[in-house]
Amino acid sequence: MAKKNRVVKKTRRANNEGSVFQRKDGRWAGYISVGFDKDGKPIRKFIYGKTQTEVAKKLSDLSGRLNSQSYDMIEKKNFGELMQDWLLIFKKSSVTPRSFEGNIRNFKLHILPIIGNMKLYSVDVVAIQKVINKLFEQGYSTNLVKKNKHMINQFFEYAIDSKWVNINPTQKIKIRSKDRKIYTNGENYKALPPEIREKFLDALNKDESNFLKPLCICLMFAGVRIGEALALRWSNIHFNTKTIKIEQGITQVPRFDENGNILERVTVVSDTKTACSVREIPVTDIVLETLSKWKEKQKIRSYDINLDLTKPNMFVFANDDGSVRTYSGSRIIFDRFKTRNKLDKYNIHFHGLRHTFSNMLFEMNENPKVIQQLLGHRDVKTTITVYNSVNSEYVREATDKLNEKINSSYKPEEQETKQHGKLDEMEDDDINELLEELLKQKQERKRKREKDFDM
């Protein structure tokens, strides 16, 4: 039956690149030798397509895989297995453990379920676009979608270098540049509003027996990250110059098995989040006074446990054995504190206290560049867009000030009208004096309007 459909038109290709021909039913086909059987006869792999060009391209890709000396592996393994091998062998050694954790998680959650069972050479632009579309449909951020696309792109670049494929289909994938967010009921407002700040501080003042008060004061009134605060040592606190030196932060480093599954997480003290995060920041009196009282309590505690917890190299918020506190352990204690003081409903987080610090500065109309340096941000855009969530109360206050200013500019005109009504009762000298005064006021208002316009 196959012979009846064969060979209406046939073209010869170079050695080891197969032949392309058109069948009688109109379809195009081609074949290439991929080896020999036990009897020494050539094993041919047939390719089919709608056009001669399509078949020729498929044969070229297949020829490349044969030349890569990885043909058997590519045929036996699917896309998911090949990409996971690449992640574990190459990607893992080129990024931090935390970054690799995100890579392997994104791969297993978002890429593997959709195109993992396909053959590498079958994954085209359409298949990858389906991954992208699925992520957006599930409500994931543009940033996460871009990370997945970037990871697939890196793998295909590796596949091209290995001569497994000839093209990288991710090059033609389009992703929107911005998220489409809907803000409702203030759910994205991370900082504490003024009335909640008072309740939170009152609760801290009643709960002074543990480390939470000095820790939260550092976050809320110095703007340090929770990881930076837990990594602080007493040598970083400069009471005489009223500054705190941020040099390190804690992080959780995951350990993986041979399949990329997390075995455990270990808390370590390492470098700060970015190079810009290393900074020496001036702090308010409330921070220094709270830390000073905490140091006195630690001195008393040191006698009980026979270990000096206030030595320069000791962590400010150390455990009783001098070890660094973990983020997860601190968060559990913080959650219990909120429950104990009926603060659960206010959605207060450690990072929200840092947002509160920046918001208080924005409320005072502080220069964003100054706030950027205090927070240790690399880009002032982050400071302005992410850490500036001033609520509607302050927007209304600003509007009221503008309204007051606009109205005040018309009041002198009203006064002139009122005063003009008394002219009949005034002497000539008084009238001249009044006219001179009104002229001065008018010139002054004109200069002020010109100055406002220039600004």
Tell me, rounded to whole angstroms, the distance of Cα 112 from its chain centroid. 23
Contact status, residue 21 vs residue 30, Cβ threshold 8 Å? yes
Residue 177 belongs to a domain = no
Q: Are 372 and 260 members of one domain?
A: yes
> What distances in angstroms separate CA 450 from CA 212, 439, 440, 444, 447, one per listed residue?
53, 17, 15, 10, 5
Q: Give, for 280, the enclosing helix (H) or strand (E).
A: strand 279-282
Q: Are residues 257 and 373 in the same domain?
A: yes
Which range has highest mean pLDDT (141-150, 190-199, 428-437)? 141-150
Q: Residue 437's domain spans which residues?
A: 414-454
Q: Is the pLDDT of residue 168 over 70?
A: yes
Tell whether 378 and 265 lie within a shared domain.
yes
- Report if residue 185 sits inside a domain: no
333 shares a domain with 283: yes
Higher pLDDT, residue 410 or 138: 138
Residue 95 lies in a domain: yes
Q: Which long-range contacts (CB under 8 A, 24 or more apart) does 105-112 make?
A: 106/144, 106/147, 106/148, 106/151, 107/83, 107/151, 108/260, 110/134, 110/135, 110/140, 110/148, 111/80, 111/83, 111/148, 111/151, 111/152, 112/80, 112/84
Instruction: Indicate whether 147 and 203 sit together in one domain.
Output: no
pLDDT at position 17: 46
131 and 230 housed in the same domain: no
The last residue of a domain, from among 10, 35, 63: 63
pLDDT at 179: 62
* pLDDT averaged over every residue in the chain: 79
- Between CA 438 and CA 121 the distance in angstroms is 85
Residue 19: exposure state from Cβ atoms within 10 A (0-12, 13-18, ≥19)? middle
The answer to whether position 301 is within a domain reads yes
- pLDDT of 129 above 60: yes
- What per-residue confidence (pLDDT) applies to 46? 79
Q: At what angle do helices 411-420 and 428-454 cross, to 10 degrees?
A: 170
Considering only residues 96 and 128, tell me which one the structure prediction assigns the higher pLDDT: 128
Is 37 inside any structural domain? yes
Distances (CA, A) of 430 to 53, 348, 413: 100, 65, 19
DSSP annotation of 315: B
Q: State the DSSP H helix or E strand holding residue 35, giving kind and residue range, or none if neither.
A: strand 28-36
User: Do residues 316 and 348 share a domain?
Assistant: yes
Residues 256 and 328 in one domain: yes
The number of domains in the chain is 4
pTM above 0.75, yes or no: no
401 part of a folded domain: no
Is the domain of 242 the same as that of 301? Answer: yes
Residues 315 and 203 in one domain: yes
Helix or strand run (H / E) with residue 137? helix 125-137
For position 129, which CATH number holds?
A: 1.10.150.130
Query: Does residue 130 form part of some domain?
Result: yes
Q: Looking at the structure, do residues 296 and 163 belong to the same domain, yes or no?
A: no
Q: Which residues contact 312 (CB under 8 A, 6 or more apart)?
A: 233, 234, 235
Q: What is the pLDDT of residues 201-236, one digit of tens each?
A: 999 988 766 899 999 999 989 888 899 999 999 999
**How far is residue 147 CA from its own chain's centroid?**
11
pLDDT digits (tens, 9 = 90+) for 260-295: 888 888 888 888 777 778 888 888 899 999 999 999
Query: E-assigned strands of 37-154?
Result: 42-49
For residues 386 and 283, membership in a common domain is answered with: yes
pLDDT single digits (tens) 388-397: 665 555 555 5
